[in-house]
């Protein structure tokens, strides 16, 4: 569907979800949902869009924690990051 291959998308959905019937209600529902999602978000066109990581304060906080933990792990000496069993 990303490159105007709607017929192929319908064929694949019919094969795996509609028992070969392109007019199955499940296939038609999935098809409409996919079209709606692509038209509203355009997620098939912008794979490099990182705005989702900064949309809200909660998400920004989580993103900052991930970056901080990664930085700590990379910059720490190995013996500090290893857990010892006593």
One-character DSSP codes across 3-30: TS-HHHHHHHHHHHHSTT-TT-HHHHHH
Contact (CB, 8 A) for 24 and 14: yes
Q: Which residue has the tokens 């709607």?
A: 6
pLDDT, tens digit, 9 for 90 and up, residues 2-42: 678 889 999 999 999 999 999 999 999 999 998 888 777 66
pLDDT (0 to 100) of residue 85: 56
| Domain regions of the chain by residue span | 1-45, 48-78
Distance CA 63, CA 5 (A): 35
């Amino acid at each position: 569907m990303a490159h105007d291959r709607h017929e192929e998308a319908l064929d694949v959905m019919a094969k795996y979800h509609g028992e070969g019937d392109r007019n199955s209600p499940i296939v038609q529902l999935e098809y409409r949902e996919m079209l709606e999602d692509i038209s509203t978000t355009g997620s098939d066109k912008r794979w490099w869009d990182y705005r989702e990581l900064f949309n809200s304060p909660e998400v920004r906080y989580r993103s900052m924690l991930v970056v901080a933990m990664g930085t700590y792990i990379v910059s720490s000496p190995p013996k500090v990051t290893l857990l010892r069993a006593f």
